[in-house]
A and B are shown apart, each in its own frame.
Chain A
Amino acid sequence: MNARLLPLAGFLLVLALLGFGIWWSGTHDLREVPSPLIGKPAPTFSLPLLDDPSKSLGSKELAGKPYLLNVFASWCVACRDEHPILMREGKRLGIRLVGFNYKDPADDARRWLAQYGNPYDDIVADLPGDVAIDFGVTGAPETFLVDADGIVRYKYISPITPQVIATELLPRIAKLQQGAK
């Protein structure tokens, strides 16, 4: 190769690297924290119900059937985008939809649900946010799919869209229910 073309080759190499960087950051969310919990047992927890703090719900009661745990809060703006989709398509999931009210005063959460509707089968409240840390929650909304054995199968960060339900959640849920039979 002509040595005079070497700088050009170097320039093209750098250009390719930058192009790859642009492509990569466009197709991947660089801020997304990968969950080390996938394929591992969900943390054991027991939290008070939002509607009745004297009663509690936890991994023990939820075991035996798959469920979807949806982290939400009244202070979370993105949850407001996600909410109508859960209202509309929550029943389509065919599994228990558990709301995880994260660092949210109970009154605020109740008012929020009264205003926008309640898509959840049950809602647990984690006001101190300790259980959320065990789940590796970094914010809201986040959604965990847990199977009948209590293994975390899937985690989705950011608001659920109809597309996520159709392409990510429903196939996984179908697989879980097939395996259970």
Chain B
Amino acid sequence: MRRVLLALAFALAAASAGAAVDPLPFKDRAEEVRFQNLTKQLRCLVCQNESLNDSSAPLAADLRRDVFEQMRAGKSDAEIKQWLTARYSDFVLYDPPLRGGTFLLWFGPLLVLGAGAVVVALNVRRRARNATAQPPARPASTDVEEDW
């Protein structure tokens, strides 16, 4: 009985693993790795939190097949991405390209960091000035807590 259950569990696991991603006839390991790397950078348009590599949506299967065929046709990764963005816009890329509209996306964190640095610098300078004008009554270490 236990053996039967175990076999059943394995069969189910194999079935669900097979259903998620349809096998493609890769000619060697290198081609497969390239395909996996490329499709991991692409977003499934149906389940948008999944990559094209993971998704089991029918559209994702179609697009995987298209990507595979274009790889076979000798297209570069960049050309395949361009083919996809011509149809589905930058939305299909998990790694958005750097251009006017994505400037904030790329440099927003840097701007916030810069703003923080300015605030810190101003604070430090003001405190340095205060420190020379009137010596602190208490040690500087507790002053830091007090000020906030």
A29 to chain B, nearest CB (A): 11
> Are A3 and B86 touching (Cβ within 8 A)?
no
Does chain A have a CB within 8 A of B48? yes
- Which single residue of chain A is at the shortest CB-CB distance from B126? A3
CB distance from B115 to the nearest CB of A (A): 11
Question: Does B79 sit within 8 A of A, measured CB to CB?
Answer: no
Segment touching A, from B5-13, B18-26, B57-65: B57-65
A133 in contact (CB, < 8 A)? yes
Contact A3 B88 (CB under 8 A): no
A128→B58 CA distance, assembly (Å): 10
Given contacts A3-B147, A103-B58, A133-B63, contact A36 B45 (CB under 8 A): no
* Residues from chain A with Cβ under 8 Å of B92 in the complex: 33
In the bound complex, do residue B88 and residue A136 qualify as a contact, i.e. CB atoms below 8 Å apart? yes
Choice from B63, B86, B89, B147 contacting A33 with Cβ under 8 Å:
B89
B85 CB-CB contact with A under 8 Å: yes
Measured CB to CB, the closest approach of chain B to A146, in angstroms, equals 16
What number of B residues sit within 8 Å (CB to CB) of A? Answer: 17
Expressed in whole angstroms, the minimum distance between the Cβ of A30 and any Cβ of chain B is: 9
- Chain A interface, >50% SS class: loop
Number of interface residues of A (CB under 8 A): 20
A residues less than 8 Å from B45 (CB atoms): 33, 138-139
Let me know if B103 is at the binding interface, CB within 8 A. no
Q: Are A36 and B62 in contact (CB under 8 A)?
A: no
Contact yes or no, B87 A133, CB < 8 A = yes
Contact pick for B91, options A6, A34, A129, A134, CB 8 Å: A34
- Write the nearest CB–CB distance from B23 to chain A, whole angstroms: 19
Encode contact with B along A137-149: 1 for CB under 8 Å, 0 otherwise. Answer: 0110000000000
Partner of A138, one of B59, B66, B85, B147: B59
Q: Which residues of B contact A138 (CB under 8 A)?
A: 45-46, 59, 88
Closest to B59 in A: A138
Cβ of A59 within 8 Å of any chain B Cβ, yes or no, is no
Chain B residues whose CB sits within 8 angstroms of the CB of A129 once the complex forms: 58-59, 62
CB distance from A77 to the nearest CB of B (A): 14
* A136 adjacent to B87 (CB under 8 Å): yes
CA distance A7 to B147 in the complex (A): 11
Q: Do B87 and A134 have beta carbons less than 8 Å apart?
A: yes
User: Counting CB contacts under 8 A, is A31 at the interface?
Assistant: yes
Q: Judge whether A135 is part of the interface by a CB distance below 8 angstroms.
A: yes
Of the A-B pairs whose beta carbons lie under 8 Å apart in the complex, a sample of 15, sorted by A's number, is A6-B148, A31-B48, A33-B45, A33-B91, A33-B92, A35-B89, A36-B85, A36-B87, A36-B89, A37-B87, A130-B62, A136-B89, A138-B59, A138-B88, A139-B46
| B positions within 8 Å CB-CB of A | 45-46, 48, 58-59, 62-63, 66, 85-89, 91-92, 147-148
Closest 10 CB pairs of A and B: A138-B45, A136-B87, A36-B89, A33-B91, A34-B89, A136-B88, A129-B62, A33-B45, A31-B48, A33-B88
A residues lining the B interface (CB < 8 Å): 3-4, 6-7, 31, 33-37, 103, 128-130, 133-136, 138-139
